[in-house]
Amino acid sequence: MRDLVLLGFVAAIAAMGLKRPFLWVLLYIYVDIVTPQKVGYGIITSISLSLLCFVAAFAGYVLLDSKKGSRFTLQQGLIVALLIWCGITTLGADFPEAASAKWDWVWKSLVCAAFLPLTLRTKLRLEAAALIMVLSAASIIISAGIKTVLSGGGYGTLVSLVQDNSGLYEGSTLSTVAIAMIPLTVWVARHGTIFTERKLAMAFAAALVFAALLVPVGTQTRTGLLCIAALGVLVLRSVRYRFVYAGLAGLGLLAAIPFLPAEYTERMATITEYRADESASTRVAVWRWTMDYVAENPMGGGFDAFLGNSFTYRTRQVVETGGTQSIEYAQVTDEGRAYHSAYFEVLGEQGVPGFLFWIALHASCLINMERIRRRLRKSEDEAGRRWHSLATALQNGHLVYLVGAVFVGVGYQPFMFMLLGLQIAFWSIMRREWTVEPVAPRPWQRETGREEHAA
């Protein structure tokens, strides 16, 4: 029954796309985020919905949609360059089979990020894409929030929408995306024009934000806590009464602590001392190995090059014996451990060239959002304030992602590349709308102009 409902929904949107091809783009966003083929149990699991929807979206744009306003930007060029480089490193990967498996979904993530801005050529389309991204991620976040309230969750045990521990359904990844999505959620509710019932939209957004804040608690991920802290600091840029906001945030945190599960607070306490936690110690050891590996292989080792790592590190543990505490050290040997950081993931797999493409893409998008913010900062009209808020929301979400990416291997996460696609499209639209005052022609240019006109 579930398969029929999901397939019926996808088929209905696909049919409507025959008249409005842009709907196929929105359908692809939904399918790529929610992955309904994982939600179902029967025939839907054997259908490559993501690939089919992407082909439909691409064909619809090329064959049926208008190209007016579409333009190829520097940021899209960086994505294409990263895509080509990833293909090259995959051909010469240290572990060809594993690299090929990861390439199967990474190339779609990169192609979608480069393609999406071409279709988002109007502000209404941009808003529609933002809304679908929020609602699609909400279907996973709400489920995780409800289960956190009912069961308290657990590290590696919280099941959100499906029994899966990959992609957006992985705990640390979901925590990062859930917090990074909060600014965009608030913007859609406050400034969106698709839903006109503002009070209802704000009520839903408040509930969704609460659920998003519960995700790090349910998954018991330290990354989620750091993302919440980063977002709290970023919000200070926009609030009017900063000290009041900081005080209320502090009181809210103190009030929430008694309601947090004991397992969660104990795990969060290990943030300040990585040597006391084997998971954190492993990450540091992997990062050191990656730096040594790149020093010897500056072109990278292809996807999943971490499978070749092997290292020994020391852990420190406090042991209580007869009412006294003592510190014990132990040596741990490990191998084939993942990077647990997007920065080291991209650096180790794509080497220095790929890392430069990746970091330049993120930096340029952040800079473009800052340009929009500064230009519209003193805008007095409602539209100007609205788009200033969107630039702030996209930039804040992006920065939260980059903070979470320090500790999670989300270097090619499709949702975050879609967020980059929104920023690229937004910058392209604003540049097209901003008019540049014409420069007065020189005297000789006036003469030349009259002669050409007379001719």
Q: Give the model confidence (pLDDT) of 231-257 as tens digits.
A: 988 988 877 766 666 666 666 665 655
Question: To which H or E segment does residue 310 belong?
Answer: strand 310-321
The overall average pLDDT reported for the chain is 83
My answer on whether 83 and 134 are in the same domain is yes
Report the range of poorest mean pLDDT among 78-87, 247-256, 309-318.
247-256
The two three-digit tokens of residue 181, written as one number: 């999505």
Is residue 326 in a domain? no
Above 50 in pLDDT, residue 386?
yes
C-alpha of 256 from chain center: 27
My answer on whether 41 and 170 are in the same domain is no
Is residue 285 in a domain? no
Residue 137 vs residues 166, 212, 437: alpha-carbon distances, Å: 15, 10, 42
Range of 229's domain?
A: 74-269+340-433
pLDDT on residue 42:
73
My answer on whether 184 and 137 are in the same domain is yes
The two three-digit tokens of residue 337, written as one number: 């451990």
My answer on whether 103 and 238 are in the same domain is yes
**DSSP label at residue 413:** -
Residues in contact with 91: Cβ distance below 8 Å, sequence separation at least 6, in sequence order: none
pLDDT on residue 436:
45
pLDDT tens readout for residues 17-42: 988 999 999 999 999 998 888 877 77
Residue 86 vs residues 109, 110, 272, 419: alpha-carbon distances, Å: 12, 10, 35, 20
Helix, strand, coil percent content, the chain, rounded in steps of 5: 70, 5, 25
Kindly indicate the confidence band of residue 224, based on its pLDDT and cuts at 50, 70 and 90: confident
My answer on whether 29 and 146 are in the same domain is no
pLDDT on residue 453:
41
Sign of CA dihedral 411, 416, 421, 422: negative
The two three-digit tokens of residue 339, written as one number: 């990077």
Question: 433 versus 312: which is more confidently predicted?
Answer: 433
Residue at token pair 């929610």: 34
207: Cα within 13 Å, side-chain hemisphere: 12
My answer on whether 154 and 244 are in the same domain is yes
Is residue 390 in a domain? yes
Is residue 52 in a domain? yes
Is residue 286 in a domain? no
Average pLDDT, stretch 82-97?
94
Instruction: Report the range out of 197-201, 361-365, 434-438 with the highest average pLDDT.
Output: 361-365
My answer on whether 60 and 84 are in the same domain is no
Is residue 429 in a domain? yes
% of the chain surpassing 70 pLDDT: 80
Instruction: Identify the three-state secondary structure at position 328.
Output: strand
Closest to 294 measured CA to CA, from 309, 279, 272: 309
pLDDT tens readout for residues 395-422: 999 999 999 999 888 999 999 999 999 9
**DSSP label at residue 323:** T
Q: How many domains does the chain have?
A: 2
- The H-assigned helical ranges of 193-312 are 198-219, 222-235, 242-256, 262-268, 278-296
My answer on whether 94 and 54 are in the same domain is no
Domain boundary among 41, 65, 89: 65
Is residue 200 in a domain? yes
My answer on whether 162 and 23 are in the same domain is no
My answer on whether 230 and 356 are in the same domain is yes
Is residue 177 within 8 A of residue 224, CB to CB? The reply is no
My answer on whether 237 and 354 are in the same domain is yes
Closest to 390 measured CA to CA, from 124, 140, 63: 124
Average pLDDT, stretch 325-353?
83
Above 70 in pLDDT, residue 444?
no
Give CA–CA dist 262/305, Å, rounded: 37
Give CA–CA dist 298/354, Å, rounded: 10
% of the chain surpassing 90 pLDDT: 47
Give CA–CA dist 384/455, Å, rounded: 45
Average pLDDT, stretch 440-445?
50
159: Cα within 13 Å, side-chain hemisphere: 6
Instruction: Identify the three-state secondary structure at position 335.
Output: strand
Is residue 328 in a domain? no
Q: What's at 270, amino acid-wise?
A: T
My answer on whether 93 and 156 are in the same domain is yes
Q: What's at 228, amino acid-wise?
A: I
